[in-house]
Chains A and B, each alone.
Chain A
Amino acid sequence: MTNEAEFINALKDNKQKDKAFKMLLDTYQERLYWHIRKFVISHEDADDVLQNTFIKVYKNLHNFKQNSSLHTWMFRIAYNESMNQLYKNGKIKFLDIEDQNENSINKLQADSYFEGEEIQIRLQEAILKLPKKQQEVFKMKYFDDLKFREISEISGVNEATLKSAYYAAVKSIEEFMTRLQTI
């Protein structure tokens, strides 16, 4: 089942749906987990968001119009679910953006599934100091290796804006890390 159109048909066909969904889970589970984890930071939140993402994918397969690739569609759902989770976390604690970033760093260090050394904490810190859109594009481009076109479809931001945001993010991180090395 190499052809994506055939695979999507199988996902929409009641007789083949469950088997095809298991294949989808095998293929995308790990990729989507890491995509989500970078946004929500803690493993517990990432686990919840991953489950919600796949439940939504399964429920909405019949609505998938194939305007984008299945890959991009799933990443978009995961991205939206991650943003919802962040919104819920921020809303519950009534935090503004800066406090949310500070909170994310604290959460990261308190997370039992974070084993980062100083350099990894600093990189996370550098990323979290970026404006929100720069953070998002940097994570999706650098770590998920998505194309700007795909990021544009996922986030709803045009490609030109994404490109400039990405390179501004790279520059800021570079400066932040260089400054740390010289201290």
Chain B
Amino acid sequence: MRKLALSDEILMKVEKPARYIGNEVNSVMKDPGKVDVRFAMCFPDVYEIGMSHLGIQIIYDMLNQFEDVWCERVYSPWVDLDAIMRKEQIPLFALESQQPIKQFDFLGITLQYEMCYTNILQVLDLSGIPLLAKDRTEDDPIVIGGGPCTYNPEPICDFFDLFYIGEGETQYRELIDLYKDAKEKNLGRAWFLEKAAKIPGIYVPSLYEVTYKEDGTIKERKTLTVDAPEMIMKEMVTDVSDTYYPMKPVVPFIKVTQDRVVLEIQRGCIRGCRFCQAGQLYRPVRERNLEFLKKYAIAMLENTGHEEISLSSLSSSDYSQLPELIDFLIEECSRRKINISLPSLRIDAFSLDVMNKVQDVKKSSLTFAPEAGSQRLRNVINKGLTEEVILNGAKLAFEGGWTRVKLYFMLGLPFETEEDIRGIGELSNKIAATFFETVPKEKRNGKVQIVASTSFFIPKPFTPFQWAPQCRKEEFLDKAYLTRKSITEQLNQKSIKYNWHEADVSVLEGIMARGDRKINQVILRAYKMGCMYDAWSEYYKNDVWMQAFEECSVDPDFYTVRERSEDETFPWDFIDCGVTKSFLLREWHRAKEETVTPNCRMQCQGCGAARFGTGVCLEEREG
């Protein structure tokens, strides 16, 4: 029987000990003597969050298909175990072998949101790996960063040996072969990193130097070796129906956030909402073919025993064979008593009909994401959802028996006015009014409930809004108060509930998102001062963070409230995500002019992604 890294006494003391025991159904065990490369794949947050992430399941499955590699998983120990491990000096271990991460060849860390950055340091620290890449020796694993946040890796570049930019399915084989070669011939870490920098998509930050102007913006970016490329092109899977996808995802023992089969039906989005980073990063849209999806849906259900399947994509309604796929799933799943969950569907007659078949109308709520309260501002952000469409959808839904509606908005969008903010209350009111107009009194089955939620807008790299200033905390809060006030002034205010997010953390997220290399020291300082699990509001310490900025003499405002000039060099400009900076700038201008840009299927906008020669870029356009 496997020996655990933690004693029974410790496991009995901590919350949810099953987080740390491994051995889940479909987890992969190998003989360490029979593999050449040990890879630890990490999601720097608690187990339940990390285990819900599809990307890790894909890479885990792929790497374990390589006979010479054993990929294991590691997550952030929760704060209770963290304290015990520090006190008793227990090194962080991988779940499968229960062996210390420090002995591994690679530690891959996925970066899904900026607020996990201090947890990267937690994982390195508990593993006994030097926090700064420059301090690591031949005894330390190669630390790799991947995932969406690597599209601006600069704020955390001191902690990583290399970053893998783009989709993980394509270059790991080459990277591992290079590593094996280096290991066999004893060529050393520096040699490996220098050569790795030549593999497409690989960015080795130590091979570059950045200098700054007096105003703090970037003056120059220099390569320190002849070979290191000046631009790093993102990696992308050309044919998403002929690639790695896990037939046997790992099934956790404890309930996790995403406790179901996840079927990724397509990558990318045709819509081009101007605030959305994912919509630009994953261009062009690539659909998986129907037969591929059917085959994987059945295999994954059979191999996991999950009681639910969920479709995953940025906008499921845009998948061209959605009706056929849903028909298939409804038939298969009703026979097997499996629930179907359909997030990111546009509310229309088709989707309501589908939802009526797959969920209990009385218990479920409908979600609209208008993102902005007025049509004017929706044009600014290129959200092609009109009030007419929303009210029509709501009317159909109320007729179908739904009584609960969720609405998602953002506050602090570029060019937002008080008028736009009041629009949130007005739109919520109109939806409530639609209920009273649509459903006669005698047929009203309970009360109508509108829940409006706002988050604070954070400008992200590689979006048309990367030039936009971000609001200060006080401005954010004023906007939230105005929203609340405008809702209470509505006729149907009793049917409307309002929630808003916290402002502090949105400001910090904005700094990280568009930060440069100067942010590294702040993150390190904040971590040393006890910051960790910043994504968890109960552990977020804003005052400590602000103190860290001050002690490092880094001005947070430089990264947030400043409007960037059009010719500024951004920290992330050396990455080529397929979409050109000139396209993004064009879109930034169109936003100012309140002009809507048609989606990829209606008309090609020449964003630059057509050079990949795949997906929607190859489709015949309607017009």
- A in complex with B: no
Residues of chain B having any CB pair with chain A under 8 Å = none
